[in-house]
């Protein structure tokens, strides 16, 4: 039996694991996928590393909010690289416009990016690997049932914990939960609205064409442009284009012509800021909200999870069951900073 069984090895689950194990807790982390990290995962195609979700963080400079959380966990020792401030062209930052509605939350998410912006050499995998050191993490363990301190997996194995921390989407947690809880609690979470899914184009670039730009570009409140790493001559080797699902695209299977037309329209839009882009692209790969749903188990492939319009949309880390806790981007705020704050809140509420 573990002191804590954690469901999900994304940032939220890994951070809780790290915090609790540093306090001497015996922790077991169960991850449905073959890789840890969730939205921190990277993948390699044709020898180029691409980020899936996380590209940069805000507020990691001395005394800034993320630094205050990461320093005690030795995460500021990782190879963080300072970036220039984001370039926002026409319209608001789509991260904020679409994912949140709650003014106070916007301020919390945006402010750290005004202070400083950082990327991580090796991408999100570097952070996930650092967090996973010394943790007991079991992969390919898809949790199917949660009941009375016991977590059961699709392969027939089960794990018991004094505490169980669900670092997955709360709507999924409640679908897996077999214990009776107040119907009003279930109903409230089931009815909460999710933010949009995301399309991503990961492009491999021909060498020596597009100069590397050390900041992210947000175009017309619609398209986000993130550069990968630079080669020795200062040219970009890869670039990621991200756009939220629009109502017209919602519900599509993200396959075939839809997938290709979305990719083309993203490349075309980005070419307004980077005219050399279409010629620079050697090859690209597309992921859709359906890809996200498959990989992370988030309903509809929502990128940032539950929308937060109001203080009423706040979900506490505690649940009606004294041994079951929630964490992750849906509890409080999304993003690396938001998820880190949630992990601290969750661990604090387990009464460290
Ligand atoms: C495309 C995209 C770009 C982003 N860019 C940035 C950025 O640049 N900067 C920033 O700060 N934030 C960014 N974010 C947000 C940030 O990455 C997330 O808020 C954060 O990583 C979420 O972590 P999490 O642990 O809550 O969830 P997740 O990363 O979704 O982790 C959940 C984990 O639980 C596992 N799981 C799910 N169901 C089960 C089950 N039944 N059994 C076992 N395991 C299960 C999943 O496989 C997954 O590994 C981005 C997100 C996306 C989607």
Return the domain boundaries, the chain.
2-349
The pLDDT assigned to 195 comes to 86
Tens digits of residue pLDDT in 170-202: 999 999 999 999 999 999 999 998 988 889 999
CA of 60 to the centre of ligand 1 (A): 20
The pLDDT assigned to 255 comes to 47
Q: To test ligand 1's pocket by mutation, which of 38, 226, 326 has the most ligand atoms within 8 angstroms of CB?
A: 38
Decide whether any atom of ligand 1 lies within 6 Å of the 10 Cβ. Answer: yes
CA of 11 to the centre of ligand 1 (A): 6
The pLDDT assigned to 246 comes to 58
**Residue nearest to ligand 1 atom 5, measured at CA:** 54
Residue range 2-349 forms a domain whose CATH class is alpha beta
Q: To test ligand 1's pocket by mutation, which of 335, 343, 344, 347 has the most ligand atoms within 8 angstroms of CB?
A: 335
Decide whether any atom of ligand 1 lies within 6 Å of the 31 Cβ. Answer: yes
Tens digits of residue pLDDT in 267-318: 999 999 999 999 999 999 999 999 999 988 899 888 889 987 666 778 999 9
Does the global pTM surpass 0.85? yes
**Residue nearest to ligand 1 atom 34, measured at CA:** 8
Decide whether any atom of ligand 1 lies within 6 Å of the 57 Cβ. Answer: yes
**Could you say which residues of the chain have pLDDT below 70?**
91-110, 246-257, 309-311, 351-352
Decide whether any atom of ligand 1 lies within 6 Å of the 95 Cβ. Answer: no
Q: Answer for the pair 49, 123: CB distance below 8 angstroms, yes or no.
A: yes
CA 38 to chain centroid, in Å, comes to 6
Decide whether any atom of ligand 1 lies within 6 Å of the 151 Cβ. Answer: no
């Amino acid at each position: 039996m573990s002191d804590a069984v954690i469901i999900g090895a994304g940032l939220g689950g890994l951070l809780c694991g790290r915090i609790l194990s540093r306090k001497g807790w015996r922790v077991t982390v169960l991850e449905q996928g073959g890789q840890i990290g969730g939205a921190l995962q990277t993948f390699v195609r044709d020898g180029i590393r691409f980020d899936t979700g996380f590209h940069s963080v805000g507020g990691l400079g001395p005394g800034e909010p993320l630094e205050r959380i990461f320093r005690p966990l030795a995460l500021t020792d990782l190879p963080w690289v300072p970036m220039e401030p984001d370039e926002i062209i026409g319209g608001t930052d789509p991260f904020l416009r679409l994912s949140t509605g709650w003014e106070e939350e916007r301020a919390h998410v945006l402010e750290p990016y005004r202070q400083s912006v950082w990327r991580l050499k090796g991408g999100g995998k570097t952070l996930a690997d650092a967090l996973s050191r010394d943790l007991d993490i079991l992969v390919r363990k898809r949790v199917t049932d949660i009941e009375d301190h016991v977590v059961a997996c699709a392969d027939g194995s089960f794990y018991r914990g004094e505490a169980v921390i669900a670092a997955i989407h709360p709507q999924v947690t409640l679908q897996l939960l077999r214990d009776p809880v107040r119907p009003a609690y279930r109903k409230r979470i089931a009815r909460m609205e999710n933010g949009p899914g995301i399309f991503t184009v990961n492009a491999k670039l021909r060498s020596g064409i597009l100069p590397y730009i050390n900041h992210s570009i947000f175009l017309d409140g619609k398209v986000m442009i993130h550069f990968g790493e630079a080669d020795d001559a200062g040219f970009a080797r890869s670039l990621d284009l991200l756009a939220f699902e629009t109502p017209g695209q919602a519900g599509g299977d993200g396959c075939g012509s839809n997938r290709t037309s979305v990719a083309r329209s993203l490349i075309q839009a980005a070419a307004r800021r980077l005219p050399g882009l279409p010629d620079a692209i050697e090859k690209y790969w597309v992921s859709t909200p359906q890809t996200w749903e498959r990989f992370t188990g988030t309903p509809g492939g929502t990128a940032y999870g539950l929308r937060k319009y109001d203080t009423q949309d706040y979900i506490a880390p505690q649940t009606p069951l004294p041994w079951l806790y929630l964490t992750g981007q849906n509890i409080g705020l999304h993003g690396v900073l938001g998820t880190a704050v949630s992990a601290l809140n969750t661990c604090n509420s387990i009464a460290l």
